[in-house]
């Protein structure tokens, strides 16, 4: 019976790793194994909730497309003379519908950045 349970757990992790696009992790302590199991389970619960909310809105999308569209969403700092701005990339594919389904308000595409302090020649820190 324990052997069958072990196979079930291993199958669960294979599905979770392929769905979430993660690599295998080898743990040495029980606490890290429990943490990994918890995080994997939580990720699947959140993914299920996202799919449920999208279905309520009539949005059908593959996880790979959702993930790719959300990964393309970025915000960068740019300077025009003495003025600094935050620029958000355009929404791609289902990113806007996903954000609406989970009630996440996106910032406007262009926002003035105030209180910026230069920490070196390349990096900026927002106060």
Average pLDDT, the chain: 80
Which of the pair, 95 or 24, is modelled with greater confidence? Answer: 95
- What is the DSSP pairing of strand 116-118 with strand 124-126? antiparallel
Taking the C-alpha atoms of residue 25 and residue 54, their distance in angstroms, rounded to an integer, is: 31
DSSP state of 103: T
Element spanning 75, H or E: strand 75-80
Q: Specify whether the CB–CB gap between 108 and 87 falls below 8 A.
A: no
Q: Domain-by-domain residue ranges, the chain?
A: 2-56, 72-126
pLDDT in tens, 5-58: 667 667 766 776 676 666 667 778 888 878 887 887 888 888 889 999 999 999
What CA–CA distance (Å, rounded) separates 29 from 82?
A: 53
Q: Check: CB of residue 80 under 8 Å from CB of residue 90.
A: no
CB 27 within 8 A of CB 13: no
pTM above 0.85, yes or no: no
CA–CA separation, 127 vs 121, rounded Å? 17
């Amino acid at each position: 019976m324990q052997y069958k349970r072990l196979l079930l757990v291993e199958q669960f992790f294979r599905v979770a790793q392929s769905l979430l696009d993660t690599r295998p992790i080898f743990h040495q302590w029980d606490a890290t194994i429990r943490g990994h199991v918890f995080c994997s389970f939580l990720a699947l619960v959140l993914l299920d909730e996202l799919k449920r909310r999208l279905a309520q809105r009539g949005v059908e999308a593959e996880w790979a497309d959702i993930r790719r569209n959300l990964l393309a969403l970025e915000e960068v700092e740019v300077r025009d003379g003495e003025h600094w701005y935050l620029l958000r990339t355009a929404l791609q594919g289902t990113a806007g519908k996903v954000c609406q389904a989970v009630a996440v308000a996106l910032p406007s595409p262009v926002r003035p950045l105030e209180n910026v302090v230069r920490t070196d020649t390349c990096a900026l820190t927002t106060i």
